[in-house]
Structure 1
Amino acid sequence: MELPKEIPTYHIVINNKHYKNLRSDIWRDDPVPAKLKVNSKEYYIGIQYRGYHIRKQKKKSFHLTFRSPQLFMGRREHHLNAEYMDPSMIRSKLSFDFFKEIGNLAPNAEYILLKLNGSTAGLYLQLESVDDLFLHQRNLPSGHIFYATNDDANFSLITPYKKVKTSLEAGYRVKVGNQEDYHFIRELIYNINTVPRSDFKHEISRLIDVNKYILWLIGIVCTQNYDGFIQNYALYRNGQSGLFEIIPWDYDATWGRDIHGRVMEYDYVPIQGYNTLTSRLLDVDEFRLQYRTMLENILETKFTPSYLESHILSLQSMIRPYILLDPYINKDIQKFDSEADYIIHFIHNRRRYLLDRLVELK
């Protein structure tokens, strides 16, 4: 896993009137105009806050849309994540790199230093948007993309709060496609919940790429993203195969910490994971055995302290000088320094826990 030698600096300028409008309402979803300068090149952009919990924190995340020119790094929009609740600031990056290592789709993530109206706003993780350009840059067939925007995206007919959903597409927002394309989501959710057990293997195999779903399941079970089973993912329906694939998103609450940065014990998420689709897939003997075999291989080769330690330490070393420049987190440098050992210790315990539970997948 190669790392960039230097973290770029983004200079964003917002005039006082628009900056006041932006800060007056943290829930505002309309971007205000701004100018971005990177490496002596200027871009006219729209900027707005993004995320949910992070909007209430001092250090906020941003969503940038490019207006002129319309593309930057081959993308029309960029997400600047504050990673404020993660004391290591590497959990999302480490997660997406891990997903790619095991063969799953994941957005690219790069660090940047943000300066806003001349003042240092801090270190940010820039995330690639999962859209048509995401597909194009990977030479993937065009298709439909749906974002799982809240926990109604649990592949069930019932919400996590035991209420009947208002619609089969509840919890999803179409990113690539149009309103009529929600019928693909409706078909998927309906079949997951109504197809008899005897027919499920055949029917689900014509709707989702089971092998890739299992890879995603391994990624989320290893990194232990509790919320990621029911939201914070994208569904890509491959226009060539007609099969759904799942793409991870928002992975700061991983590797032993929750969304508030608190300790999440290594055994919190079971080896079987969560959500209705996962439960039904693992109820099929062939799929359960496939999951066990693939998970065991990754536990032996990729999800080990020895395999991941050098990447963890390299990430920490790369961003440490920029942590010291971040006005929101530079006072917690001792905690930052201790997080690499914390993550490595989590991997050791989580791996041992999963290896001990493989017997449950017979």
Structure 2
Amino acid sequence: MVKKTIKYPGLLFLVLLIVSCDFIADPPAVENYNLPVYSIEISEENYGLLKKNAYSNLKVSARLNINGEEHKIKIRHQGFSSRGNFKKNFRIIYEEGSDPFFEGSEVILNSQAIDPSMLKSFLAIEIFKRTDLITFEVQPVAFYINDAYEGLYYLIEPIDEDFFVRRNIKTSELYKAYNGFAFFNYKDLPDVRKGYEKKFPEDENYHTLEKLIAATSYDGPDFPEKLEKIFDVDKFLQYWAVTVLICNWDGIIHNFCLRRDAFSNKFEIVPWDLDRTFVWDDYRTAFPGDNYLVRKLMNYPKYRKIYKARFERLLEEVFNASVLFPKIDSMKTVIREAYNNDRWLNANGYDIDRESENIKMFIEKRIGYIKNQLENFN
């Protein structure tokens, strides 16, 4: 009997070691960076489908782990112009249960990819909260897909039917401005469906919205009376004052919502998607605002008086260094670690301290500009 010998015992040991490591090695650690963790587990097949369909709303199955709690979900891409960004936006649809932060069946994971400070949406919402307008909530999170850190994201509460139910706000209809054509007159928008998408109820009846655009387009001597029967003009002027202050140029003909109240039957404006803000704009948000309806309202002394009062109150109570700078510094502390480990932000050389200082300089400059404009505005 011939005894067989192993020529390369060291190689056998190495092979056995490698094989055994597949069973004993710990998975990569998921760092929370002092934030809630939203960690997606998705099969290779579904992940491939998701990546290939960045420009569609195809939903695929996955699992979402939130600080140890697992949820069955569907996930799809989210957004309009943002779908070509390196950091994608996603919509999460819970198949059972609800989101622990916002209690809804759907939430948005937004990369804020056009905001190198990762502070603008948060800050804009803080300002809008000091008005009478309805606002959505945001929460910074550390986002992972298959244990790979995708970066610092914001969890955003969608504005949908459940949004108003949670707040006990009776709403008959909701429309979202989209496509860059959300004008307030029939000359620029002969078909309201080109600029507004009906979110609920899910039907093709745009009659009440058409009545609103007809009222804003009307040029008779009783224009204010006709408009105020169907539209909350005061809240519109609140929205517009903040929009001009923060240079929310994307929220003029694109990103806002219109809800119709179930009791008054009046429409009111609701802010949405606030990352394109705090960057100087001499066109759309130049005082008093480049908008058909704003320009028309400014022909009436009572609306000019209301508009000016809105700016004066905002400057005194909200839009100033003593209120906003501590909010910037506080949120900067909260997100700093997740920000510093975000590979997209690192690759582009962004620095949270420099970016936050840019916002502070914008605020100070904008205050001076608006005060100067108000001096001769009566």
Give the structure-2-normalised TM-score: 0.86
Gaps of 5+ in 2: 1-32
Q: Retained in 2: the 8 A contact 1:36–1:45?
A: yes
Q: Retained in 1: the 8 A contact 2:236–2:268?
A: yes
CA distance in 2, matches of 1:129, 1:158: 31
Question: 1:338 is paired with a residue of what secondary structure?
Answer: helix
Q: Is 1:116 paired with 2:139? A: no
CA distance in 2, matches of 1:183, 1:223: 33
CA distance in 1, matches of 2:283, 2:199: 34
* C-alpha displacement of 1:325: 2.1
- Pairing partner for 1:29 from 11, 32, 57: 57
Question: 2:193 is paired with a residue of what secondary structure?
Answer: coil
Specify the alignment match of 1:47 in structure 2: 75
**How do 1:140-289 and structure 2 match up within 5 A?**
140-159=169-188, 165=189, 167-193=191-217, 195-256=218-279, 264-265=280-281, 269-289=285-305
Gaps of 5+ in 1: 160-164, 257-263
Post-superposition Cα deviations, 1:298-326, rounded to whole Å, max 9, x if no partner, equal: 11221112221000111111101001221
Specify the alignment match of 1:76 in structure 2: 105
**Percent identity between the aligned chains?**
28
* C-alpha displacement of 1:15: 0.8
* C-alpha displacement of 1:169: 3.3
Question: 2:343 is paired with a residue of what secondary structure?
Answer: coil
* C-alpha displacement of 1:6: 4.3
CA distance in 1, matches of 2:43, 2:350: 36
CA distance in 1, matches of 2:197, 2:275: 22
CA distance in 1, matches of 2:62, 2:110: 18
Q: Which amino acid aligns with 1:15?
A: S
CA distance in 2, matches of 1:334, 1:109: 22
Specify the alignment match of 2:6 in structure 1: none
* C-alpha displacement of 1:101: 1.8
Moved more, 267-276 or 310-319: 267-276
Q: Which amino acid aligns with 2:112?
A: E
* C-alpha displacement of 1:331: 4.3
Specify the alignment match of 1:308 in structure 2: 324
Q: Is 1:64 paired with 2:87? A: no
* C-alpha displacement of 1:158: 3.9
Q: Which has the larger radius of gyration?
A: 2
* C-alpha displacement of 1:44: 1.4
Q: Is 1:104 paired with 2:133? A: yes
* C-alpha displacement of 1:287: 1.1
Q: Retained in 2: the 8 A contact 1:281–1:288?
A: yes
Q: Retained in 2: the 8 A contact 1:224–1:255?
A: yes
CA distance in 2, matches of 1:218, 1:9: 36
* C-alpha displacement of 1:223: 0.8
Post-superposition Cα deviations, 1:31-50, rounded to whole Å, max 9, x if no partner, equal: 11111111222211111111
Question: 2:322 is paired with a residue of what secondary structure?
Answer: helix
Post-superposition Cα deviations, 1:221-262, rounded to whole Å, max 9, x if no partner, equal: 111111211110011111111111111111111112xxxxxx
CA distance in 2, matches of 1:128, 1:39: 19
The 1:20/1:237 distance shift into structure 2, 3 A limit, reads same
CA distance in 1, matches of 2:139, 2:99: 17
The 1:334/1:276 distance shift into structure 2, 3 A limit, reads closer
Specify the alignment match of 1:260 in structure 2: none
Specify the alignment match of 2:66 in structure 1: 38
Post-superposition Cα deviations, 1:192-230, rounded to whole Å, max 9, x if no partner, equal: 11x224111101101111221111111111111112111
Q: Which amino acid aligns with 2:95?
A: R
Number of residues of Structure 1 aligned to a counterpart in Structure 2? 345
CA distance in 2, matches of 1:140, 1:272: 31
The 1:110/1:117 distance shift into structure 2, 3 A limit, reads same
Taking only aligned residues, the RMSD between alpha carbons, in angstroms, comes to 1.9
